[in-house]
Amino acid sequence: MQSKFQYIKSIIPGVILALIFCLFSQGINNLIAIEIFGTIKSPISTVLIAILLGIIMGNAFTPRPGMMVGLDFTQQYILKLGIIFLGIRLSFSDLIKFGTIAVPLVIFCIIGVLILIKILIKKVPISSKMSYLIAIGTSVCGATAIVATAPVINAKKTEVAYAIANITLFGVIAMLVYPYFAGWYFENNALKSGLFLGTSIHETSQVAAAGLIYDQQFNNPETLDVSTVTKLIRNTFLVILIPLFAFLYNRGEFKDQKYSILSIFPYFVIGFIGMIIVRNLGDQFFSVETGNFYAWSKFIEYLKILATVFLTMAMAALGISINLSELKSMGYKPFVVGLIAAVTVGIISLIYIETLKNFFI
């Protein structure tokens, strides 16, 4: 069995590579801004540069197996740590305000995708198991939802691989396009843009990156806060939807299914809320009156910077891990279903936001 020291040693090269890509992307961002456009901020986000650079390098040169261990660690754990640190930006009132609006929208999106998938599988000949995997991946939280759902419907490894590739492809496209679309369509309205990004993009990492791209390009950090809260609410619906999918697929026969709420619950959501608690308690304790406010504000800024660095590292690692040739070899039919499902989520989100826009202040 691999010791903890050996494991730590094995992840270091990949983590360092992701950090190098992060720093290099920031350097390119500064170069584009200062040397080409003569402005303070580049029209291309650092996160966007990181993932595109990762995709190019990851497909031009095959990463060594030793590197992939650290890159996988970056995508799984450093990403979640970055999301947890995002909680330092929020107050309790923000969480309640954003969450109250987001919950109905998330429910509408999930129901809409489920109905659509049931209709599509009658028109497009793909397996019902794969359709369920694409549905939960699109409506809830991407690859995590797919991997958690696969055992309860006895999905094959190939079906899981196709579904994850599907979610990865359309999630990355949405991550790159939707921040700019939202900035244009919603005229830089933070609440509307954040709700749209949080419901229409698949993976938690992709939503966080899209929110960060939006923040960096439109100077609107509240959008990142709203999109993160919305996405984490979507993630918690795993606890409800996985047993529901097991029931729908197996007609209520759970006796042979492996299902545990503890094994699928997204614990980093608790960490995110915990960081909100830390922020609010800190604001009360380290006030101007106590004389500790300066040190506390610097600590908050430090965590915000770390969150940005960690998320950018995760996006670089994701880009390096995407194998375009594998996506090409999987056939087009599942991707037709995935494309329609992805567009449907976006449309439902837009309709909901436009319908209730008079209530958004």
Going by pLDDT thresholds of 50, 70 and 90, the confidence category of residue 223 is very high
pLDDT at 120 exceeding the cut of 60: yes
Indicate the pLDDT class of residue 260, thresholds 50, 70 and 90.
low
Question: What pLDDT does 254 receive?
Answer: 47
Q: Are 89 and 221 in contact (CB under 8 A)?
A: yes
Domain ranges (residues) in the chain: 81-359
Comparing 200 with 29, the larger pLDDT belongs to: 200
Q: Is 38 exposed, middle or buried (0-12, 13-18, 19+ CB in 10 A)?
A: exposed
Q: How far is CA 341 from the centre of its chain?
A: 17
Q: Which amino acid is at 259?
A: Y
- Count other Cβ atoms within 10 Å, centred on residue 119: 10
The angle, 0 to 180 degrees and rounded to 10, between the axes of the packed helices 4-31 and 65-73 is: 80
Q: What is the pLDDT of residues 293-318, one digit of tens each?
A: 778 888 999 998 998 899 889 888 88
Phi and psi at residue 177, to the nearest 5°: -95, -45
d(CA 349, CA 151): 30
This model's pTM is above 0.85 = no
Given its phi and psi angles, is residue 286 left (phi above 0), alpha (psi -120 to 50 degrees) or beta?
beta
Is the separation of the CB atoms in 69 and 14 below 8 Å? yes
